Amino acid sequence: MLVENRILHKFPERIIHLNELLKMPEFHIAANDIKCKLEIPTISKIENNVKNCDEKNVVQKPRLDSNSHNLILEQTHIPNNKNIIEALKILKPNVKELAEDVNDVKLWISLFKPKIEDGNNFGVGVQEEIIEVLDQVKTVVNSYLEQVSYYYKVRGNLIAKVCKYPYIEDYRRTVEEFDCKGYRYLTHSLCNICNTYKIMHDTIIKNIEKIKKPRSSNTDSLY
């Protein structure tokens, strides 16, 4: 009964709450404001070649694959993109709550499964179809958390490239584009979580009698 009450009452509340979260400023940041300015120090041996362009004082630029110990970056702390972090703080607890709700609803439906018999199995088929949908939702939910780790890993590698080659503008632009892509993903993920609650609530409410009493003379199709 606790899970049934959660579906009947909590799911609509979750939908309203998630819609309110989607209106928050953290999820309405302009593309130009998402970008995080990288304060990467320059290599100590790189000088202003524009001002020292006469033949006698030309400073040789390091090779892109140079490992010379004379080309040492000053140690510095490179922070995360604060816009991504703030959005993640909102998204992650909602992902975890959805995962818990999906697991509980799946177990609740499974407990209504009758013993295997010949005939009159339409209600059981409805149960299995809904459980299959819940399994798909669970896979998507797990992918949300995996994408968070993937974001940190890839961004870290890109930052490392910027540190190694601070004079290559393309690496810096790649970090900016990757942050924008990550931000869009977070916004879409929160929207998808809200839509998932809507679908679960609607599907279960329309088929709740078939879920709770799969053995019956009811031969209507799944809504």
Hey, where are the domains in the chain?
1-30+82-212
Instruction: Kindly report the pTM of this predicted structure.
Output: 0.78
- From the options 2.40.50.140, 1.20.120.180, 3.40.190.10, 3.40.1160.10, give the CATH code of 1-30+82-212: 1.20.120.180
pLDDT per residue as tens digits for the range 25-69: 999 999 889 988 887 765 543 444 334 344 444 444 445 444 544
The confidence score (pLDDT) of residue 151 equals: 95
Torsion of CA 68, 70, 75, 79, to 10 degrees: -50
pLDDT per residue as tens digits for the range 113-162: 877 665 556 667 888 999 999 999 999 999 998 999 999 999 999 999 99
